[in-house]
């Protein structure tokens, strides 16, 4: 009788861990609580009868192992270990992206030096590349107006977000080091991975806000 009562407590505690876990948004805490709940269920299956319920134990063990692997992958994607070695020096410029999402973005980029006069976008033409200027300056021309913007900025981000043609022509004022992404690849990746989509759009939004802030300072 005592064993049965103890087993009852185990199953209630395990169920409680699952219920609380499903109510928590934080993915790490959720997975930890589900893991504790799974261990309690395995304990329950081991003591509820005179003979352990091995099929249930092995099934729960497999579920717990999958949860552990998912937890390890989640922790890895949030750690500095996920940042590609070749891009560790520029991660600080993208620090609003979790390391795992930054790694996904960098795996699809072309990191190169482009010569002065290289055209990044043409006013009225479709935007097929998203650029980030690591070193150098870009000359922006819209109609009869022209101005320059400095490094640490995206080019083509509005076209990427809206799908509209480029609103201005962008050319390099001198030799520049740039990151380039294929817009169609980014859109496909964003459709498959909503978290990646939100992180990239948040990063671009910060860049747009900084551009607006700079323009206000210039014209005020």
Residues 202-212, mean pLDDT to the nearest whole number: 83
pLDDT digits (tens, 9 = 90+) for 125-140: 999 999 999 999 999 9
**What is the rounded CA–CA span in Å between residue 190 and residue 47?**
47
CB-neighbour burial class of residue 50 (10 A; exposed 0-12, middle 13-18, buried 19+): exposed
pLDDT of residue 216: 47
Contact 52, 74 (CB under 8 A): no
Residue 206 to residue 186: CA distance in whole angstroms: 18
Handedness of CA 218, 92, 94, 90 (dihedral sign): positive
Give the pLDDT band of residue 25 (cuts 50, 70, 90).
Answer: confident
3-state secondary structure of 142: strand
Which CATH superfamily does the domain covering 82-219 fall into? Jelly Rolls (2.60.120.10)
Task: Give Cα 167 to chain centroid, integer Å.
Answer: 28
Reported as a single tens digit per residue, the pLDDT across 163-195 is 999 989 999 999 999 999 999 999 998 899 888
Sequence-separated (6 or more) residues with CB below 8 Å from residue 95: none
Handedness of CA 70, 74, 76, 82 (dihedral sign): positive
pLDDT of residue 219: 45
Residue 209: band (very low, low, confident or very high) from pLDDT cuts 50, 70, 90: confident
Q: What angle do CA 63, 18, 48 make, to 5 degrees?
A: 70
Q: Which two tokens stand for residue 104?
A: 């996904």
Dist. CA 177–CA 174, nearest whole Å? 10
Contact (CB, 8 A) for 209 and 157: no
Q: What is the pLDDT of residue 61?
A: 96
Q: What are phi and psi of 181, to 5 degrees?
A: -130, 145
| Residue-wise pLDDT tens digits, 29-66 | 999 999 999 999 999 999 888 899 999 999 999 999 99
CA separation for the pair 54, 33 (Å, rounded): 23
């Amino acid at each position: 009788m005592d064993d049965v009562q103890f087993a009852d407590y185990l199953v209630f505690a395990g169920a409680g861990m699952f219920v609380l876990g499903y109510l928590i948004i934080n993915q790490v805490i959720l997975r930890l609580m589900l893991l504790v709940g799974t261990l309690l269920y395995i304990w329950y299956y081991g003591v509820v009868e005179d003979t352990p319920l091995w099929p249930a134990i092995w099934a729960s063990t497999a579920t717990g192992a999958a949860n552990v692997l998912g937890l390890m992958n989640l922790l890895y994607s949030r750690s500095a270990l996920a940042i590609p070695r070749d891009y560790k020096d520029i991660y600080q410029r993208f620090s609003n992206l979790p390391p795992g999402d930054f790694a996904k973005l960098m795996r699809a980029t072309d990191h190169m030096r482009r010569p002065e006069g290289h055209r990044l976008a043409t006013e009225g033409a479709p935007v097929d590349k998203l650029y980030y200027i690591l070193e150098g300056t870009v000359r922006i021309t819209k109609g009869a107006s022209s101005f320059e913007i400095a490094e640490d900025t995206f080019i083509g981000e509005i076209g990427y977000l809206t799908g509209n043609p480029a609103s201005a022509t962008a050319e390099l004022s001198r030799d520049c080091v740039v990151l380039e992404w294929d817009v169609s690849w980014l859109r496909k990746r964003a459709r498959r991975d909503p978290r990646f989509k939100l992180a990239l759009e948040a990063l671009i939004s910060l860049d747009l806000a900084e551009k607006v802030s700079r323009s206000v300072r210039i014209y005020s």
